[in-house]
Amino acid sequence: MREFLYKAFTPDRTVKMGTLFSIDQKSAVQELHGQNLSLISLTEKKSFSKKTFLSGPGKYALFCRQWSSLITAGIPLTETLSLMAHHMKQKDRHLLLSLQKIIQSGESLTESLEKCGSFPSLFTVMIHTGETSGTLSEQLLLLSDYYEKENQFRKKIFSSLAYPSFLLLFLLLMMIIASLLILPAFETLFQSLRIPLPYATRILLAAGVFTGTHGLHIIFLSSASAGAAAAFFMTELGKKNRDRFLFSIPLCRRILSIQFCRMLSSFLESGKPVSDSLRDMENFLPNRYLKQSISQIRKNINSGQDLSESIKNSNIHDFFLERMTALGSESGQLPFFLTQCALIMEEKTEDTLNRCKVMAEPVMILITGCLIGFLFFYHYACFGYDLFRIYVVFPFAPFSSASFQIILILDIFTLKEEFL
């Protein structure tokens, strides 16, 4: 679906300007003529992001459930689209109304979805399965369950990672404030007392001065590095390396395995064979390394291996997934066992994230306390040492040999620190 900017005359010869969502320029012109507008100019609005219908799995879950209810009630397909469009935002309403017009022109629902180009591939394939088998309402319910579980899982991950991320950012902010605001005050104090600064303080102050002096250069270099890294990860080689790295992280690999189980279960429940389901999944899953593994699994199945053996011989290497698929294949209830496998792995993932969340707060507090304690102890230890040497040892130095020994010992440690 594309967005166009138009300028046209109304029937009373006033100029009207606005935006219009349509499949192509020809359809946009026809729609404007249908509104009794005399076109002056029509230009496509360029956008870096592709226009998509709805945003997020939660909205898709609600949409599929409502659409299924309307179809089950016996309402015609085009009428259901018109009813749902009235309760949506402008962009989504235009997309649904455009979809309705394409269907009314004689295209099938699947062809209309592909022409719009704003719907997820998984959504289009499941709708195609429902349209060809006469089970559109049931397929929409399966999609609703899939998107609802996906939405709940995303919320759990976000809530588990939000607090540790906030603590980490807070710690970094406190370190920056300490190096730029607090440590310079200590420098002024030590200089007024003519006491040399500790080495740790000198390093932090030098870092703060360097940051303040070359802040623009640092920002420029950081931005350039981030841009270069982003450009590299936009290439096919960069995406492959990124996906391979993410798949090597146990937590990310488990999350991808959950997505694999849910999607395969949904396809199998829709009536697709295992090989065809895996072929379609290669187009939907975002991780390229997992796509390669699925392609390898499909080739193993076509060569005569069963699903569990194919997973064992692939790059996934998940013993629990292998056992659950083996049990599902033996019992003839593979979709059920895949769903249960996804639920169990989701509980393990949630438990891991909760433990990380519980440990994050004391660990961050401990790190912050150690840094602050080190700074204060180091500053006041050096400050106390210099005061002790000036006001206690020196006045009695000519009268006590022990005083000379204390001065000698302390000065040796000072020289040792300076050389080190």
Mean pLDDT of 125-148: 88
272 part of a folded domain: no
Candidate from 161-165, 167-171, 195-199, 202-206 with smallest mean pLDDT: 195-199
212 part of a folded domain: no
At 162, the pLDDT band (50, 70, 90 cuts) reads confident
Report the CATH number at residue 124: 1.20.81.30
262 part of a folded domain: no
Main-chain dihedrals φ then ψ at residue 15, nearest 5 degrees = -85, 130
Bridge partners of 39, per DSSP, are: 8
User: Are 40 and 118 part of one and the same domain?
Assistant: no
- What was the pLDDT predicted at 399? 43
User: Are 37 and 62 part of one and the same domain?
Assistant: no
Rounded distance, CA 57 to CA 308, Å?
Answer: 29
User: Are 140 and 96 part of one and the same domain?
Assistant: yes
User: Are 97 and 28 part of one and the same domain?
Assistant: no
- What was the pLDDT predicted at 65? 92
- 228's tokens: 């270069």
Closest CA to 77 of 126, 132, 137: 137
Q: Which residue has the higher pLDDT, 51 or 316?
A: 316
Q: Which of 87, 115, 147 is the last residue of a domain?
A: 147
User: Are 103 and 22 part of one and the same domain?
Assistant: no
Most confidently modeled range among 44-48, 147-151, 391-395 = 147-151
The order of strands in the sheet holding 2-9 is 15-22, 2-9, 38-44
Rounded distance, CA 230 to CA 39, Å?
Answer: 42
- What was the pLDDT predicted at 189? 65
191: pLDDT strictly greater than 90: no
Rounded distance, CA 293 to CA 263, Å?
Answer: 15
354 part of a folded domain: no
Q: Which residue has the higher pLDDT, 219 or 127?
A: 127
Do the beta carbons of residue 74 and residue 167 sit within 8 Å? no
Burial environment of residue 237 by CB neighbours within 10 A (0 to 12, 13 to 18, 19 or more)? exposed
Q: pTM higher than 0.75, yes or no?
A: no
Task: List pLDDT tens digits, range 76-134.
Answer: 988 998 888 888 888 788 888 888 888 888 888 888 888 777 788 788 888 888 888 88
Mean pLDDT of 311-329: 86
User: Are 87 and 64 part of one and the same domain?
Assistant: yes
- What was the pLDDT predicted at 146? 87
Q: Which residue has the higher pLDDT, 408 or 192?
A: 192
- What was the pLDDT predicted at 199? 65
Q: Which residue has the tokens 């689209």?
A: 81
Rounded distance, CA 241 to CA 233, Å?
Answer: 8
CA distances from 74 to 26, 88, 140, 145, 270 (A): 33, 22, 15, 22, 21
Q: Which residue has the higher pLDDT, 250 or 188?
A: 250
366 part of a folded domain: no
- What was the pLDDT predicted at 172? 77
What domain range includes position 120? Answer: 57-147
Mean pLDDT of 215-227: 82
- What was the pLDDT predicted at 408? 41
301 part of a folded domain: no
- 387's tokens: 């005061």
Sorted by sequence, the CB contacts under 8 Å of residue 188 that are 6+ apart come out as: none
How many Å is the Cα radius of gyration of the chain?
Answer: 33
Number of domains in the chain: 2
User: Are 30 and 65 part of one and the same domain?
Assistant: no
Task: List pLDDT tens digits, range 362-407.
Answer: 777 777 677 666 656 655 555 555 555 554 544 544 444 444 444 4
At 211, the pLDDT band (50, 70, 90 cuts) reads low
111 part of a folded domain: yes
Identify the DSSP state of 398.
G
- What was the pLDDT predicted at 377? 62
Q: Which of 147, 172, 191 is the last residue of a domain?
A: 147
User: Are 102 and 143 part of one and the same domain?
Assistant: yes
Q: Beta strands of 36-164 (E only): which ranges? A: 38-44
As a whole number, the mean pLDDT across the chain is 78
Q: Which residue has the higher pLDDT, 28 or 268?
A: 268
Do the beta carbons of residue 55 and residue 120 sit within 8 Å? no
User: Are 67 and 140 part of one and the same domain?
Assistant: yes
419: pLDDT strictly greater than 70: no
How many percent of the chain have pLDDT more than 90? 6
User: Are 82 and 19 part of one and the same domain?
Assistant: no
Main-chain dihedrals φ then ψ at residue 4, nearest 5 degrees = -120, 145
Q: Beta strands of 197-316 (E only): which ranges? A: none
337: pLDDT strictly greater than 90: yes
User: Are 63 and 137 part of one and the same domain?
Assistant: yes
Q: Which of 147, 175, 193 is the last residue of a domain?
A: 147
70 part of a folded domain: yes
